């Protein structure tokens, strides 16, 4: 028996991802796995101009990557059926050809499932062992389709540098951020190159007051904020970024609570929980709490458990505190007063406050 190797490659335009990708083993009895295999096998059969269709024998292994789209990567075995490719029938309508004459094969495929539950083949390679007949080799490429790119591909570097600079322009961030990890990337040829990249960036110790751009002195903070971004970039035929869009969301963040070196300008630093500096920001915090909480009584600060301050064209406080219910009802009191005492027993709340103050502008 001779071996036929048929390379079959195609893909599709993928919608942007909205959640973090995770890879897991697939259950071969999953209905979506069947639909993915069905799409791959139909795509293989439609490429054949003569002969019989192939019929699914079994799925042998696979994984799926879950995001806003789901990608199935799997291997499946096929056998030649008794339906000609020009019959207009699908492989489900065919029976297996006699074993002595039937060709067999194994395919490796990647199939995506979009948010609209449409299954599209991204890549596929099939190795066919014929019952008889000459060795044939054929290759198919899908022009203009989206193809995945390895996260460490050098071609992503110019786009990622542009993306990080774009993020760091945002004035609401007090510190510069650096690239942390590329999660996924894809590329499409459209009179140039269109990229979609999912990646994370992490807060560094370089404040914008001291540094205009990232430099070798800028180091990632272990407890700094991490943002996850999804960017779309169009690189024209002159290798210039002609169009760019960015969508970032906070992924995780834990402000530092241990002292930092004096060489770290603008970084958060720990302050004592009984510091008089906390009086004003705590006053603003509890006022905001009482205005927003749906409760008949006012709450007051019982104790502070942790606090940091940060110089950011003003002063920013991050305070963790316990608030306790008082004997002052909102119906009988216009505001929380000095005569309001903590109820015993009463409700308590564990709170986190982020207070940004500009005293010279009288703004909070």
pLDDT band at 346 (very low <50, low <70, confident <90, very high): confident
Query: Given a cut of 50, is residue 321 above it in pLDDT?
Result: yes
- pLDDT of amino acid 267: 64
Rounded Cα distance between 187 and 146, Å, is 5
- Residue 42: what are its φ and ψ, rounded to 5°? -65, -40
CB distance 200 to 151 below 8 Å: no
pLDDT at 255 (0 to 100) = 43
Give yes or no for residue 311 having a pLDDT over 60. yes
CATH of 4-143, one of 3.40.50.261, 3.10.450.10, 3.30.540.10, 3.30.70.890: 3.10.450.10
pLDDT tens digits for range 105-137: 889 888 878 777 888 887 888 888 887 655 454
User: What percent of the chain shows pLDDT beyond 70?
Assistant: 83
Helix residue ranges, H only, the chain: 31-47, 157-168, 279-292
pLDDT at 271: 87
Q: How many helices (H) and strands (E) does the chain have?
A: 3, 16
pLDDT at residue 17, rounded to an integer = 34
Asked, as a colleague might, if the bond just before 345 is cis with ω within 30 of 0, I would say: yes
Residue 205: other Cβ atoms inside 10 A: 22
Residues of the chain with CATH 3.10.450.10: 4-143, 154-252, 271-361
pLDDT at residue 204 in the model = 93
**Cα separation, 355 vs 364, whole angstroms:** 7
pLDDT value at position 164?
A: 94
Distance between CA atoms of 105 and 114, rounded to whole angstroms?
Answer: 28
Instruction: Return the SS3 of 204.
Output: strand
The CA distance from 156 to 197, in Å, is 9
- Per DSSP, the three-state class of 30 is coil
Of the pLDDT bands very low, low, confident and very high (cuts 50, 70, 90), residue 68 is low
Q: What is the pLDDT of residue 12?
A: 32
Q: What is the b/e burial string over 252-267, where b = at least 16 CB atoms within 10 angstroms of the residue's CB? A: eeebbeeebeeebebb
Specify the CATH number of the domain 154-252. 3.10.450.10
pLDDT, tens digit, for every residue of 147-174? 778 888 899 999 999 999 999 988 888 8
- DSSP letter string, 236-287: -TTS-EEEEEEEEEEEE-----S---TTSTT--EE--TT-GGGHHHHHHHHH
pLDDT of residue 67: 59
pLDDT for 163 equals 94
> Structure tokens of 103?
């060709």
Q: What's the confidence (pLDDT) of residue 249? A: 87
- Is residue 146 within a helix (H) or strand (E), and if so which, with residue range? strand 146-148
- Contact status, residue 12 vs residue 119, Cβ threshold 8 Å: no
What rounded mean pLDDT belongs to the chain? 81
Across-strand partners of 358? 363
Q: How far apart are CA 201 and CA 231, in angstroms?
A: 12
3-state class of 69 per DSSP? coil
Q: How confident is the model at residue 253 (pLDDT cuts 50, 70, 90)?
A: low
Confidence label for 257 from pLDDT (cuts 50, 70 and 90): very low
- Grade residue 13 by pLDDT with cuts at 50, 70 and 90: very low
Flag the least confident range among 82-86, 132-136, 224-228. 132-136
pLDDT(177) > 90: yes
State pLDDT tens for residues 24-56.
777 767 788 889 999 999 988 988 888 899 999
pTM above 0.75, yes or no: no
CA dist., res. 323 & res. 200, Å (int): 35
Q: Which of 58-67, 133-142, 181-190 has the lowest mean pLDDT?
A: 133-142
Confidence of residue 266 (pLDDT cuts 50, 70, 90): low
What single DSSP character describes residue 133? S
8 A C-beta contact, residue 51 and residue 82: no
| 292-310 pLDDT per residue, tens | 888 889 999 999 999 888 7
Q: What is the mean pLDDT of residues 227-255?
A: 85
In this prediction, residues 346-360 reach a mean pLDDT of 86
Cα 270 to Cα 273: distance, rounded to the nearest angstrom: 9
Span 271-361 CATH architecture: Roll (3.10)
């Amino acid at each position: 028996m001779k071996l036929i190797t048929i390379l079959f490659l195609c893909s599709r335009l993928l919608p942007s991802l909205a959640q973090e990708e995770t890879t897991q083993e697939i259950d071969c009895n999953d209905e979506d796995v069947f639909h993915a295999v069905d799409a791959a096998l139909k795509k293989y059969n439609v490429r054949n101009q003569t002969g019989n269709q192939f019929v699914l024998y079994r799925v042998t292994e696979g994984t799926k990557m879950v995001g806003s789209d789901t990608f199935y990567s799997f291997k499946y075995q096929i056998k030649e059926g008794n339906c000609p490719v020009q019959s207009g029938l699908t492989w489900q309508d065919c029976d297996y050809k006699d074993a002595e004459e039937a060709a067999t094969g194994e395919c490796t495929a990647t199939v995506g499932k979009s948010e609209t539950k449409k299954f599209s083949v991204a890549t596929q390679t099939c190795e066919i062992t014929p019952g008889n007949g000459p060795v044939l080799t054929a290759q198919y490429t899908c022009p203009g389709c989206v193809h995945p790119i390895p996260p460490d591909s050098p071609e992503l570097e110019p786009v990622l540098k542009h993306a990080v600079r774009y993020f760091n322009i945002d004035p609401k961030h007090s510190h510069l951020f650096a690239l942390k990890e590329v999660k996924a990337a894809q590329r499409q040829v459209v009179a140039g190159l269109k990229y979609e990249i999912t990646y994370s960036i992490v807060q560094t110790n370089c404040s914008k007051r001291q540094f205009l751009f990232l430099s070798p002195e800028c180091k990632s903070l272990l407890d700094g904020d991490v943002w996850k971004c999804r960017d779309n970039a169009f690189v024209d035929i002159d290798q210039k970024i002609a169009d760019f869009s960015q969508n970032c969301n906070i992924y995780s963040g834990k402000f530092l609570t241990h002292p930092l070196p004096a060489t770290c300008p603008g970084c958060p630093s720990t302050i004592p929980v009984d510091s008089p500096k906390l009086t004003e920001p705590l006053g603003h915090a509890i006022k905001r709490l009482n205005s927003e909480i749906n409760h008949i009584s006012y709450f007051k600060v019982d104790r502070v458990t942790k606090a940091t301050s940060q110089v950011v064209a003003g002063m920013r406080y991050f305070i963790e505190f316990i608030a306790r219910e008082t004997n002052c009802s909102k119906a009988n009191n216009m505001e929380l007063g000095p005569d309001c005492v903590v109820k015993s027993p009463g409700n308590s709340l564990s709170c986190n406050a982020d207070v940004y103050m500009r005293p010279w502008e009288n703004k909070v």
